[in-house]
Amino acid sequence: MWNRAPDVSPNLRIDCGVERRINSRTSPKFVSGFFETLVAPFGFSLPTQGLLGQLNLTQGVYDLISEHKRLQFASVTQLAQAVSDLDSLKIALLQMDSEEFAIWCGLGKNNSRDGLLTLIHEIDQALVRVREARVKVDFEEYRPGPKALVDSLTQLALTGVACDVKQIKKAWPQSGRKPLTPKWKSRIGSVRVCEGTGTLIEVSSMEYTFLVKWKGAARTRIDVGILRNHLVLDLGGVRRFLELPAACSRMESIKARVSLDSIEIDFMVNEKEWPRS
Amino acid sequence: MTDENEGAHGANDLGSWLTSMGAPESITDLMPSEITGLDLAPLIAMLGGVGVRSGVRNAGDSEQLADSIKWLPLDRS
C-alpha cells in the first residue's frame, strides 16, 4: 500500500541498561496531528482508544519514532517491548485503513486517510531505522542474570534488532558480576535476529505451509497466531508481525510447528472461500 | 462513547449510518447502492477496539474483539 522506500537514517545509536535522560513523553508532531485530523471530522471523542489503549506509548515508542540520533532504554527488555509496540501500532493502523474508512474519507469529508498513511510510513521508517541501529548494552544500572539476558536478547532478536555480542561480552565483566560461563557465552552468541519474510510452500493441492526461518526458534517458548493477513509471533509479550501472502487469506490456518531453525504454519485450502473453475 | 457514536449501533449499513449522523437523505442517492449498503461492522470494530494488544497476552480475557488474534495449536520438536 505504501510503495515508497523508507528513508533510512543509519546513524541511530541505542543504549540499553542506562537511566533515561531524554524526555520520552513528548509526542512527535505528526502523531498528535494525525489524531486531531482523524478525530475531529468523525465527532468521536477518542476513536482510537481500543487501538492504542493497551499500547505502552510512553515507555519508549515515542522515542523510536523521534528523530533523535541517540536513544536510551532502561533495559534490553524495554527496548524489545517498545519495538514490539511500534510494530503493533502499525498493524492496528493498517487495519484502520479499511475499505470503509477509505470510502468515508473519499466522500470529501477530511484528509484523515492521508494522515493515516503518513503515520504508517513514519512508523515504517522508524522500524527500519531501529533495526539498523547500533545497540549497546550497559550493565551498570541493569544487572540481569545470564538467563534473563539471553531471554531479553532473544526477544529483541525477534523484533529484528541485533546487539553486538562482542560488546556485551566485554561489558559484562566491567559490571562486577561473576564471569559468564562458556555455556552462557555460547547461548548469547547463538542468538540470531529474525529476518525472514517467510515463504509459502505447496505441500499438496489442498495443503500449504508458510515457513519462517529463525535460527534457534526451538529454544524459545514462542506463541504463533494469525491476525487477518499477518502472522503474529509472540515471545513473552514481545511481538513480531509478518505479512502473509494474499493466498493465505483464502485458506484456514490449522497449526504451527516450531523446529530448531524454523517456524512453520500449516494452511488448508478452504474451497468455500476459493472456488475453483 | 458519544451520542453520535451510539447512533452507529442502530444502523447496519453505511447509508443508514450517514443519515443517522445528520447527513441529508439525498446523500444516499449520490452513492452507488453497493457503497451505501456496506456492512458497518468493520467500521464499528475500528472505532470500538481492534484486537492488537501489546504485553503478555491474557488467556483469561473473555472479551471478544472483532479482529482478535487467532492463536494456533503448536507442535514443538
The CA distance from A87 to the nearest CA of chain B, in Å, is 10
Q: What pLDDT is stored for residue A53 in this prediction? A: 43
Please tell me the predicted confidence (pLDDT) of residue A152.
93
Which of B 18-37 lie inside 8 A of A, CB atoms? 21, 35
Question: Among residues 185-244 of chain A, which lie with CB inside 8 Å of chain B?
Answer: 218, 223-228, 232, 234, 236-237, 239
What are the pLDDT digits (tens) for A182-193? 999 999 999 999
The predicted structure's pLDDT at residue A179: 86
Q: Which of A176, A177, A149 is nearest to A165 (CA)?
A: A149
Q: What is the pLDDT of residue A1?
A: 31
Q: Which residues of B touch A258 (CB under 8 A)?
A: 74-77
Partners of A224 on chain B (C-beta within 8 Å) are: 71-72, 74
| B18-66 pLDDT, tens digit each | 666 555 566 566 665 656 666 555 555 444 433 333 333 333 443 434 3
Chain B: closest CA distance from residue A173 (Å): 31
pLDDT score recorded for residue A155: 94
DSSP state for residue A8 in the 8-state scheme? P
User: What is the model's pTM?
Assistant: 0.71
User: What is the per-residue pLDDT for A82?
Assistant: 85
Residue A57 has a pLDDT of 57
Average pLDDT, chain B: 54
Contacts of B57 (CB under 8 A, 6+ apart): A223, A234, A237, B69, B71
Cβ within 8 Å, pair A255-B73: yes
Give the dihedral sign, CA A9/A11/A16/A22. Answer: negative
A44-to-A39, B4, B21 alpha-carbon distances in Å: 6, 7, 11
User: pLDDT under 50 in chain A at which residues?
Assistant: 1-9, 22-27, 39-56
